[in-house]
Chains A and B, each alone.
Chain A
Amino acid sequence: DGGITQSPKYLFRKEGQNVTLSCEQNLNHDAMYWYRQDPGQGLRLIYYSQIVNDFQKGDIAEGYSVSREKKESFPLTVTSAQKNPTAFYLCASSIGHQSSYEQYFGPGTRLTVT
């Protein structure tokens, strides 16, 4: 099956700890994205990557970091500098050119920091 996997589904951490969320895709997509979703709100873009070894900040990048060493993988690290890290995190990918702008989403990781 082709798709995007995120793990784990639920993640619990203590305040002050960094945590890394996994995102893997086997769709051969060039572009990948990380979004944050809070209750009652839409999706806000954290980081995106259009190609391997390249990534750009989205609208709310502060307190987060990413890497894109492989086409298939785009892990997100939530650092202790992120003031309100508890949220639902969604990873997505897209072909990356104008033939299609559709983004395919993973199942999400719910992070709770106490």
Chain B
Amino acid sequence: GESVGLHLPTLSVQEGDNSIINCAYSNSASDYFIWYKQESGKGPQFIIDIRSNMDKRQGQRVTVLLNKTVKHLSLQIAATQPGDSAVYFCAERNYGGATNKLIFGTGTLLAVQP
């Protein structure tokens, strides 16, 4: 399939290293954040989410950190594997909205070198 990451910021890591993908969000009123992984030619897959009343949440090999002071979100992947190679998107939901719309960032391409 065609790549969707031709002009995206790229993070290149060695297999086994830890990866940190960063995301700046726009609205201080956002109350929910989510990370998705998208492999080439496929739909995005849920990785982990976090609500604004938390600053850290852990999953299997992944951790999301939320810094509301500077409106910054990060995704940490431990012991990165070749299968982690993909584009990673963060998204936010604006509090007070009557909908469940998410606003997506432009994405970061993670390239894992064997």
Contacts and interface: CB of A to CB of B under 8 A. Distances in A.
Interface of A: 4, 6, 31, 33, 35, 37, 39-45, 48, 50, 56, 58, 88, 90, 92, 94, 96-97, 101-108, 110
Contact of B42 (A44, A103, A107): A107
B49 A102 contact: yes
Chain A residues touching B, majority SS: strand
Given A40-B5, A90-B43, A107-B43, A45 B49 contact: no
B99 interface: yes
Highest count of chain B CB atoms <10 Å: which of A31, A96, A108 = A108
A37 B4 contact: yes
B34 A102 contact: yes
A37 B31 CA distance: 25
B104 interface: yes
A42 B107 contact: yes
